[in-house]
Amino acid sequence: MKQILGFSKLSKDEKVEWLTQNYFKDSENATYLLKQYWNDDKKLQKLHDEFTENTISNYYLPFGVAPNFNINGEIYALPMAIEESSVIAAASNAAKFWGDKGGFKANVIDTRKVGQVHFLSSQNFPALEQFFNESKSLIFNRLQPLTKNMEKRGGGVLSLELRDKTSALANYYQIHAEFETLDAMGANFINSCLEEIAATLKEEAAKYFNASEDQQPLEIIMSILSNYVPNCIATAEVSCPVEDLLPNKEDAQHFAHKFIEAVNIAKAEPYRAVTHNKGIMNGIDAVVLATGNDFRAVEAGIHAYASRNGQYSSLTSAKVENGKFTFSIEIPLALGTVGGLTNLHPLVKLALEMLGNPSAKELMKIVAVAGLAQNFAAIKSLVTTGIQEGHMKMHLMNILNQFNASPSEKQEVKAHFKNNTVSHSAVVEVLEKLRNA
């Protein structure tokens, strides 16, 4: 295959043509499939085309809803964009389970976001520190045009700190900055501020250290926000007397014991912790995506937080104290409810309206609850029926759809598998029997 020059300049039709002619055996079918997902509403399609570059089609994910979430006394229906069967059913079950037990209590501990200017310098730390302290007020002045609107609303640059990182890497220093970006995720604001800080530092350092043109006292390497936000934290919790967990008191005690040990295993064992936290992310990502937030940033930050004590570990905790079962989560979340996709994508706007147009802080609480609920449902299944019972019910529907089963075929096959174990081959066998009868 030859490389193509100027691909981005081609029209959408031309891109599809080039792609399908060069990469597909049946280019006609590939073209048909890609165009099948184009939206007839030209304006809507243009909007989606322009979200990114080289758009050739739309990629659908199911947009579902998990109702009945009692969060701090308000009842929410959570919008969830996710392809994995049973995630929304599990979230809904957890919402129902906790709905009449006081619901979910959620909180935001702090909302400080982070950005860093990374630079190299052969100056020693005390010299740089003196320069930095003398330049700080000028840096804040230079930031004014960028920060004044954010400051009017109560946000802005919270702190700037020079950090000596030379024990990790030769000549490496950084400006570690903290920001309050209110309802915006704040990436553009933070990055613009950091670049201004870097430019000012470079300029002022040259004067301060009397540098010649070819011997700069500091070399700016890069300026970028951090997706690790350990001071932008949401928590969520559920609790109830142990005996309320299940109808039978002994079963309830046994359940609480197994549940807590399952969480403790995820605390102690990284192999389990990864899967445990993956289940949490099923709920978190689905709401983050539906509300137009950056799930990659959230994922990266949360997993780093799960390793903050030197070993990758569970994001949730469970305990029984004085006969009370408590299950909780603590996660870093940098989310926005204004700016970015939130103003542009019609379904994102709808998702936010479904949540009562929350502030970023409220959304942090909702997302933390989604993670906790998902984890509760997963562990509940794991320590009781096993995960496959619920999964296989959904899997059954997927297999039936794959084989284009009619509504009556679906009904009969589902009835058969009420008392039989679902497997791909067993479903196909039953369906074939039905069709040959």
Residue of 31, 226, 282, 291 that binds ligand MEV (CB under 6 A): 282
Q: Which is nearer to ligand MEV, 229 or 331 (CB)?
A: 331
- The stretch near ligand MEV (CB under 6 A) out of 46-54, 67-75, 118-126, 275-283 is 275-283
Residue of 276, 345, 365, 380 that binds ligand MEV (CB under 6 A): 276
Cβ 201 to ligand MEV, closest distance in Å? 46
224: left (phi over 0), alpha (psi -120 to 50) or beta: beta
Q: Which is nearer to ligand MEV, 303 or 410 (CB)?
A: 303
Structural tokens at position 408: 């009556």
The 3-class SS string of 20-50 reads HHHHCCCHHHHHHHHHHCCCCCHHHHHHHHC
Cβ 365 to ligand MEV, closest distance in Å? 22
- The stretch near ligand MEV (CB under 6 A) out of 200-208, 241-249, 271-279, 348-356 is 271-279
User: Up-side HSE of residue 239: CA atoms within 13 Å toward CB?
Assistant: 17
Residue nearest to ligand MEV (CB): 279
378 binds ligand MEV (CB under 6 A): yes
What residues have CB less than 8 Å from 386, skipping those under 6 apart?
none
Contact (CB, 8 A) for 15 and 7 = yes
| Residue 294 annotated to the active site | yes
Q: How far is CA 419 from CA 189, 392, 393, 415, 422, in A?
A: 57, 12, 12, 8, 9
181 binds ligand MEV (CB under 6 A): no
Helices within 230-359 (DSSP H only): 249-268, 270-290, 295-306, 346-354
Catalytic residue among 196, 294, 345, 380: 294
Cβ 88 to ligand MEV, closest distance in Å? 12
Contact (CB, 8 A) for 161 and 176 = yes
| Residue 84 annotated to the active site | yes
Cβ 292 to ligand MEV, closest distance in Å? 23
Q: Which is nearer to ligand MEV, 151 or 269 (CB)?
A: 269
Residue of 56, 344, 387, 428 that binds ligand MEV (CB under 6 A): 387
Catalytic residue among 13, 26, 74, 84: 84
Contact (CB, 8 A) for 327 and 368 = no
Backbone angles phi, psi at 261, to 5 degrees: -65, -35
394 binds ligand MEV (CB under 6 A): no
User: Up-side HSE of residue 162: CA atoms within 13 Å toward CB?
Assistant: 22
- The stretch near ligand MEV (CB under 6 A) out of 3-11, 273-281, 358-366, 419-427 is 273-281
275 binds ligand MEV (CB under 6 A): yes
> How far apart are the C-alpha atoms of 391 and 185, rounded to whole Å?
35
380 binds ligand MEV (CB under 6 A): no
Residues within window 68-87 making contact with ligand MEV, judged by CB under 6 A? 84
What residues have CB less than 8 Å from 248, skipping those under 6 apart?
none
Contact (CB, 8 A) for 363 and 291 = yes
Task: List interacting residues with ligand MEV (CB under 6 A).
Answer: 84, 275-276, 278-279, 282, 378, 382, 387
Catalytic (active-site) positions: 84, 278, 294, 391
